[in-house]
Amino acid sequence: MRRLLPLLLLAALPAWAQQDLQPLPAVPPPPPGMEAFDAALEPQVTIVKTEKESREEFRIKGKLYMVKVTPAVGPAYYLVDRQGDGNFVEADIAPNPVKPPMWIIHSW
């Protein structure tokens, strides 16, 4: 135990040496052409609740691009307008989608 104490003191020496810390420099301004936060680019979310489901409608600049449907029973799913033509298809946004195994059992 007596040999361990000097080793611990030597290991703690760098921490004691850093007592004269200097402040960080100021953050530089953003480069020219970079705009500040634009609220128009943030999605607008509208929540519609009914007895059977809850829908979250996501819009950017007033255009609906995604709907999250949460039914009263079952998992939530997303409908996404991928091409901007108003046709919504079910999207696989879930973190762990179900992928059944597709192994070849036998072939001839």
Q: pLDDT of 61-76, one tens digit each?
A: 888 999 999 999 988 8
Q: How many CB atoms lie within 10 A of CB 4?
A: 8
- Rounded Cα distance between 64 and 69, Å, is 14
- Measured distance CA(7)–CA(26) in Å, rounded: 39
Looking only at Cα atoms, what is the longest distance across the chain? Answer: 77
What is the tens place of the pLDDT at every residue in 23-62?
889 988 877 777 666 666 778 899 999 999 999 999 988 8
Q: What is the pTM of this model?
A: 0.52
- Residue 55's nearest CA partner among 45, 43, 67, 38 is 67
How confident is the model at residue 5, as a pLDDT? 73
